[in-house]
Amino acid sequence: MIAVRDTDRIPRRRLRDRVVMLGACGVLLTALYVPPAAAPAATQRAGADGTATDAAVPPELRRYYQQELRWEPCGDAAPSFQCTTVKVPLDYALPDAGDIGLTAARKKATGNGAGIGSLLVNPGGPGVSAIDSLVATADSFPPSVRASYDLVAVDPRGVRYSTPVDCKLDIPTTPMGFGLHPSVNPAEIGAHDVAFKQVADACARHAGWLLPHVGTPDAARDMDVLRSLLGDDRLHYVGYSYGTYLGATYAELFPSRVGRLVLDGAVDPALDGYQFVLGQVGGYQDAWESFAADCAARADCPMGHSVEEAGRRLDTLRRSLDRTPLRLGKDISVTGDYFIGAVTVALLTAQWEQLRAALRGVLAGDATALQQFLSDGIPYDEHLAVACLNPPFGPRLTPAQTQAALPQFLRTSPQFGEWGVTTLMQCAHWPVQRTQTAHPITAPGAAPILVVGNTHDPATPYSMAKALARQLSSGRLLTYDGDGHSAYLLRGSTCIDTAVDRYLTRGQLPPTGKVCT
């Protein structure tokens, strides 16, 4: 991870117990990767100098589209990858105001013949390193895709290897946040609000020059520069979770340059922050009840034999761990917040057998099995800087509005509503205004775009995938009838993987209404 300096930090202990993040769309997506949606049959590559796109590039930006990439080995950590730095304007509206550098990595196609081009992969986030993700997962793409495409990742502006936001915080996010704590009364909600203001003030002080320029539209424009420099007429792209929002934004800005786009675990761009977070807590509740129903049918279920009983036992365990935490090694205290965070990871990854074992262990006073659901998380400042500029991820409610929302959140999700509601305040004091408004994205004129949705996705509920597919003028929905967050190459569904592979390598869309298991 990006090193953070040791001076002038906000003390971790002061904030850990106060600031909450719902881990919406990809706090733990460092293991995810996605396939791009469809263009017509095969895509023609542009010349190496990008001249095929020059006519559509404003003169003041042309120097960025005509720069020369210098690829070098990425190093021992990624021996099969090449890395390069791309210059882009800090401010696309004022390109003479200065440049920033983005880092990109690629793994060359394995095929000997003419490939399709480059496949840009984004794992989600906001704030997740696309490079780290692709290095970890590139070999999981099927041979046909690896033979057809150079696999490419670029860390979005503000993230890890690409001019990162550094607010001098020592607060990594965890699966559902750091220091999760339920917010059920005005005093608690007010304390969270104070903590969010401390974070916002620190970011304004230490990274204010960069904060206005890390929004999704700028990241999408960066992808277009990279597309041209890679020699592709059209962008081929796989985006998971937040990566679907980034991909849809690209399609809106550059519909004629859309190639084969796969948007998996889709975000509905028409939702504001309140609607998005409420949908998420409902998604986690649905995923928990899906797990609980499966567990209840098993003789050895540690959570009882009905969905209702499982919910009560989960709440009882959380309260018990808050009173008397379990120890995990010498450094980790498993509180109720920690426990719920681990449960959400299991729901996101649909690891039900492992979750049953972990719950059984906790009931016996042993938290060892929970460790498999832990994540190092991502830097909170990098996450927040991107999230707060985008309507679905950056709600800006006051403490009073948040308190008023609590009853609806608890009705929607008895198990997770308390945690989710606090996220409504996380951007209330952010020093930069949003760069987008919540609105449907239609992208008229774009080539066919493949949207993938899971019927029991906790982080981006299925309703969001259906909504995005309807909005896009060329959207086609592919459904996975199952559990977990995102589907392609993640759920073991031959049906999903084959349908996406055909789209990526042949430009062949699945039939309308296609449902896979």
Residues tagged active-site: 241, 457, 485
Residue position matching structure tokens 């090193």: 3
Residue 187 burial (CB count, 10 A): 9
Q: Based on the number of CB atoms within 10 Å of its own CB, is 330 exposed (0-12), middle (13-18) or buried (19 or more)?
A: exposed
Dist. CA 135–CA 155, nearest whole Å: 12
Radius of gyration in angstroms for the set of CA atoms belonging to the chain, rounded to a whole number: 22
> Residue 485, by phi and psi: left (phi above 0), alpha (psi -120 to 50) or beta?
beta
CA dist 158 and 162 (Å) reads 6
Cα–Cα dist 140/144, whole Å? 11
Helices of type H across 388-455: 399-412, 417-422
List the one residue out of 298, 214, 245 whose CA is nearest residue 467.
Answer: 245
Give the integer Cα–Cα distance in Å for 279 and 25.
12
**Helical spans, DSSP H, in 31-142:** 51-54, 62-65, 130-137
Task: Indicate the length of the chain as a whole number.
Answer: 517
d(CA 341, CA 331): 17
Strand partners, 177: 175
